[in-house]
């Protein structure tokens, strides 16, 4: 959190508040609230809270922008909007909310240079009102451990259609001749999980593919620490938290060549890229790593160094602190 500020975190969602967030807030002594996101009462509950006096509001949720602007009214309280989604992921109403934010927000933060360029062209953002701050991670939580002889491939995150994890299942099916030495874990929950489990059975690989469900941060750290390969098949991505976690864990990363991934992974330098949507290309890159343990080690070492240099949470915190002081001093 931002030092020299009195911080308060406001969480909201359909599901229960993540216990990891509660534990971290209590450990850091940060006041927090949680608002259940229901169909009718949520906007009114949120409106009442935002009517309180704050010196600065940092907002991570685009749909909250109309509620926020109404709650602030004519008050001069500045707010910063952090844009997590690329234009390609936005619905029509998301575009309208972004247009409203461009007019009312003190500043807009984007996670990648590509997303900022895209938004600047679409919404005519000025250089002074927007910037790029990459997501950071607590590097002390994620690390690498000694690996087993059995090759462990991991993917984790929200299991939605845009993640295209059926590509990974097809790729593993193509590598069936090497299945005796492969273990696959697809962690996370979402509407695609039952479908993916059925596909694994249909492809005859359910004996080597595990679906453990949603994991806590410590469990994700443990999973990644023992993994050889991390796979991200996303069709559209802004900046994947699961990819950042894998990078911090020193895992060799094989990712689709979309802008959100290529802002972090350079082919054959700190990971491998494959053509988005092409399961054969993915299988070829995985096969390449299976046959070259030295490449796995080199890519894992390089990607950890990249994370230390560019993705440390302390770097992100310093940038947000500098930004916040511009609107509160």
Burial class (CB in 10 A: 0-12, 13-18, 19+), 135: middle
What phi and psi values does residue 238 have, to the nearest 5 degrees? Answer: -90, -70
Q: Answer yes or no: is 242 within a domain.
A: yes
Each residue of 87-128: pLDDT tens digit?
777 788 888 888 888 889 999 999 988 889 888 888 888 888
Specify whether 255 is located in the same domain as 299.
Answer: yes
Sign of the Cα torsion 302, 216, 313, 319 reads: positive
> Helix 113-123 vs helix 92-104: angle between axes, to the nearest 10 degrees?
90
- What's the number of domains the chain is made of? 2
pLDDT given for residue 259 in this prediction: 87
Specify whether 132 is located in the same domain as 270.
Answer: no
Specify whether 217 is located in the same domain as 108.
Answer: no
Averaged pLDDT score across all residues of the chain: 92
What distance in Å separates the CA atoms of residue 259 and residue 64, rounded to the nearest whole number? 26
Specify whether 179 is located in the same domain as 90.
Answer: no
Specify whether 165 is located in the same domain as 289.
Answer: yes
pLDDT given for residue 163 in this prediction: 96
Each residue of 117-156: pLDDT tens digit?
888 888 888 888 999 999 999 999 999 888 888 899 999 9
Specify whether 305 is located in the same domain as 322.
Answer: no
C-alpha distances in Å from residue 29, one per residue of 16, 53, 191, 325: 21, 21, 35, 21
CA 178 from centroid of its chain's CA atoms = 31
pLDDT band at 1 (very low <50, low <70, confident <90, very high): low
Residue 66: give its domain's CATH number.
Answer: 3.40.50.2000
- Please check the confidence at residue 2 and state whether its pLDDT lies above 80: no
Specify whether 32 is located in the same domain as 163.
Answer: no
pLDDT band at 3 (very low <50, low <70, confident <90, very high): low
The answer for residues whose C-beta is within 8 angstroms of residue 226's C-beta and 6 or more apart is 145, 147, 148, 152
Show the domain range for 26: 8-136+312-328
Specify whether 97 is located in the same domain as 189.
Answer: no
In the block, tokens 């894992």 appear at: 300
Q: Answer yes or no: is 146 within a domain.
A: no
Q: Answer yes or no: is 142 within a domain.
A: no
Specify whether 112 is located in the same domain as 156.
Answer: no
Q: Answer yes or no: is 36 within a domain.
A: yes
Specify whether 172 is located in the same domain as 305.
Answer: yes
Specify whether 57 is located in the same domain as 167.
Answer: no
Specify whether 265 is located in the same domain as 304.
Answer: yes
What distance in Å separates the CA atoms of residue 318 and residue 304, rounded to the nearest whole number? 21
Q: Answer yes or no: is 3 within a domain.
A: no
Q: Answer yes or no: is 122 within a domain.
A: yes
Closest CA to 230 of 254, 210, 203: 254
| Residue 142 near residue 249, CB atoms below 8 Å | yes
Instruction: Find the radius of gyration of the CA atoms of the chain.
Output: 21
Q: Answer yes or no: is 144 within a domain.
A: no
Half-sphere CA count of 94, side-chain side, radius 13 A: 13
Each residue of 210-242: pLDDT tens digit?
999 999 999 999 999 999 999 999 998 889 999
Q: Answer yes or no: is 2 within a domain.
A: no
């Amino acid at each position: 959190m931002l030092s020299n500020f009195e911080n308060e975190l406001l969480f909201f969602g359909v599901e229960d508040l993540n216990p990891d967030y509660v534990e971290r807030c209590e450990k850091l002594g940060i006041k927090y609230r949680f608002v259940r996101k229901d169909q009718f009462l949520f906007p009114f509950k949120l409106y009442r809270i935002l009517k309180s006096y704050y010196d600065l509001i940092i907002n991570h949720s685009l749909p909250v922008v109309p509620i926020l602007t109404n709650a602030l009214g004519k008050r001069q309280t500045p707010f910063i909007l952090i844009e997590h989604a690329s234009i390609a992921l936005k619905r029509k109403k998301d575009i309208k909310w972004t247009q409203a934010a461009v007019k009312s927000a003190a500043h807009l933060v984007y996670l990648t240079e590509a997303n900022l360029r895209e938004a600047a062209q679409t919404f005519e953002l000025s250089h002074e009102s927007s910037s790029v701050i990459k997501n950071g991670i607590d590097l002390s939580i994620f690390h690498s451990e000694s690996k087993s002889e059995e090759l462990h491939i991991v993917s984790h995150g929200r299991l939605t259609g845009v993640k295209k994890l059926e590509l990974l299942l097809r790729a593993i099916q193509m590598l069936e001749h090497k299945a005796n030495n492969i273990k696959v874990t697809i962690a996370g929950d979402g509407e695609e999980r039952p479908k993916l489990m059925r596909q694994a059975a249909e492809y005859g690989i359910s004996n080597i593919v595990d679906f453990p469900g949603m994991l806590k941060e410590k469990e994700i750290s443990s999973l990644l620490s023992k993994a050889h390969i991390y796979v991200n098949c996303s069709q559209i991505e802004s900046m994947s938290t699961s990819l950042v976690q894998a990078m911090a864990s020193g895992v060799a990363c094989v990712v689709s060549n979309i802008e959100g991934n290529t802002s972090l992974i350079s082919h054959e330098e700190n990971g491998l890229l494959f053509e988005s949507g092409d399961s054969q290309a993915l299988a070829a890159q995985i096969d390449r790593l299976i046959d070259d343990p030295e490449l796995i080690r080199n890519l894992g070492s390089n990607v950890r160094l990249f994370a230390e240099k560019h993705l440390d949470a302390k770097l992100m915190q310093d940038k947000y602190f500098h930004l916040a002081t511009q609107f509160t001093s």
